[in-house]
Structure 1
Amino acid sequence: MRYMILVKATPMTERGEFPPEARAMMAEMGAYNDELARAGALLDAAGLKPSRDAWRVRWDANGQRVVDGPFTESKEVVCGYTLIQVRSREEALEWTRRFPNPMGHGQAAEIEVRPLYEHEDLDRLGLL
């Protein structure tokens, strides 16, 4: 089972700023990712630049259009992710409980964890 851990952006990350203890935070995240890798659970992880460097593609009845960033609602923006592969939801939950605070100790932060559709899910739904 694969899960994506989504790190929610904050006004600070949307400004392209890092917290004062960014070096320590990066070291802690690196150690966490190393532990995931040793366990064979890490598939990928990266930080994302602010949404001012991004764009969205939107579709509606009139077709497609490109909308350039920045995006005003930082709570709806992702600033990083970690992709893991584990045996169960419980194992994914245990790994995410150990996820370091992405904004630094004592700072407000939020991650969202979502399972990815697997081939067998799509087959079971009759989509393959």
Structure 2
Amino acid sequence: MRVMVLVKATEDSEKGLFPEPWTSEMMAAMGRFNEELVKAGIMAPGGGDGLQPSSHAKRVAFDGPGRTVIDGPFAHPGELVAGFWLWEVKDMDEAVAWVKRCPNPMPGPSEIEIRPLY
């Protein structure tokens, strides 16, 4: 079963605010976690990454033949994605077990969403 694991953005991540030494410690912990995923065969090397704040993003809105480009930043940080992984797991329970082992990707409360691929 393939899943996309989505790190939800926060107000601070959308502002690019990550305090030191938390940033260095989190990046090291996340690197170790990613190595575990690769060694376990859950993720291919390079199968995940962080995303820049939505202030660097664009959306393209579709309405019939029309296309409208919308510049970021976008509202509602908790509905945005700050990072992702693509994993191959045997089932959703295995994906949940791996996410529970993940270091907290934000300095405060955060959420990680798991979505199966078609």
Q: Look up the match of 2:53.
A: 50
Q: CA deviation at 1:91?
A: 1.2
Aligned length: 115
Consecutive aligned runs of 4 or more in structure 1 exceeding 4 Å deviation: none
Give the whole-Å Cα distance in 1 for the aligned partners of 2:103 and 2:39. 17
List per-residue Cα deviations over 1:100-120 (Å, max 9, x = no partner). 11014xx21111110111xxx
Q: Look up the match of 1:87.
A: 90
What amino acid is aligned across from residue 2 of structure 1 in structure 2? Answer: R
List per-residue Cα deviations over 1:7-32 (Å, max 9, x = no partner). 11111111112133111111111111
Give the whole-Å Cα distance in 2 for the aligned partners of 1:72 and 1:26. 26
Give the whole-Å Cα distance in 2 for the aligned partners of 1:19 and 1:6. 22
If asked which structure has higher relative contact order (CA below 8 Å, sep 6+), I would say: 2
- SS where residue 42 of structure 1 aligns? coil
**1:19-98 to 2 correspondences below 5 Å:** 19-20=19-20, 21-43=22-44, 44-61=47-64, 63-98=66-101
Structure of greater Rg = 1
Q: CA deviation at 1:62?
A: 5.8
List per-residue Cα deviations over 1:76-122 (Å, max 9, x = no partner). 11110111111122211111111211014xx21111110111xxxxx
Q: Structure 1 unaligned runs (5+)? A: 118-128
**1:93-108 to 2 correspondences below 5 Å:** 93-104=96-107, 107-108=108-109
Give the whole-Å Cα distance in 1 for the aligned partners of 2:74 and 2:95. 30
TM-score by length of 1: 0.84
List per-residue Cα deviations over 1:47-77 (Å, max 9, x = no partner). 0001010011111246211111010211111
Give the whole-Å Cα distance in 2 for the aligned partners of 1:4 and 1:19. 27
Q: Look up the match of 2:9.
A: 9
Contact 1:19–1:103 under 8 Å retained in 2: no
Q: CA RMSD in A?
A: 1.2
